[in-house]
Structure 1
Amino acid sequence: VAASESGHSALKMAKFRPGIPIIASTPNDRVRRRLALSWGIHPTSTPYTTEGADAIIQNSVQSALDTGIARSGDTLIVVSGMMTELDGIGTSNMLKIHVAAETIVSGKAIVSGLVTGELHRVEDGDLSAVPDGAIAAISEAYDGELTGDADHVRGIVSSASDVTSSHAAVLARELDIPMIGDAAVPDDIEDGTVVTLDAERAVLYRDVVGAREE
């Protein structure tokens, strides 16, 4: 995956005729149309972002997933040249290995860790109803103390924005349970859906993601 403003990085890779697809992610429609004429390049549009190099990578990977060429769980090599419109972002000569995955929601990191399990919503704060090894999604409507044994819970996702000093956060720190806050799981994500919680990056992914960027 080439995150490129001018298309130069993608063209450089195509020059060597690699045996795997080259997906060029660019915010420039003119560049995207030009890259469509080059051998082995699958150009796709991505919006400009000023949120840093990680955001550029995430946008590029999501664009690659949207093409259908890359699938969730695939290992991608993401390269980027200089972004002249984004001073100070630091993408020049960047190369990272990234596991592609669909982002469900992102929030605030509370307790770091990388875990995978089935998602289970908790509406009343009772963790005893959460299946073993599941990731508990706590509703924003519930702001009391959690009840029930939490040892079997693999991760916690809280919808509350002010969650740092909450009972859930204290419990997660005591038991070293990966947790993120300010992350409302969309209603279309059903209970039982397999998800991966990367609490270090404060992101909840769909499906199994067993590795992270190097």
Structure 2
Amino acid sequence: MSLAGCAHGTGPDQTLDRYGMALKNHDFAAAYDLMSSSFRVKVTREDYIRTMRDNSREVNETSERLRGKKGSMEVSAEFEYGLGDSMRLVQEDGHWKIATYPLGFYDQSTPKAALRSFIRAYRLERWDVMLRFVPTSYREKMNAQKMQAQFTGPSREQMENLINTLEANVDEPITERGNDARMSYGDRYNVQFLKEDGAWKLKDLD
């Protein structure tokens, strides 16, 4: 990586290191100081800190992935890491700041984002969050306890294998038609998506 400012410890790579360390230490005030001015206009320090404290498992996971540095930094200063996550950085007054909205741990704006978010919720055992991805027609029959039982009960190994296969194929092409979408993966499986109230949900995994 070759970016201006890196030699002085103010490049995007160093900013990500500092951000990851701040998250690891739960020093959310320091993490907030690394956010861009455009972000700070939209999100107050108090709201940022409260959201981070309320999502400690997600914060710890993000910290580990960022510090693992298994991604690619480009001249555009966008860092890709984890399960399709990315951090965009901008330069302000000679210093690199993080411009990506970091509080949306479970994005449902696109079918691919919804799938990645669903897998993340499963990995972190956020059964309550996984309910967000259940279409309304099925929601009344499901709660967090039933969701947990479905994925950790007698079919646990089968569900684990299914999620592993999904994660391995998360970048497969997705075909969208209006409020419906479909992704083929593996030898014979399909994920069916449904868009409701602007959010993509998972109708069927296999």
The verdict on a shared fold, with TM-score over 0.5 as the criterion, is no
Structure with the higher fraction of residues in strand conformation: 1
TM-score normalised by length of structure 1: 0.28
**Larger of the two Rg values belongs to structure:** 1
Structure with the higher fraction of residues in helix conformation: 2
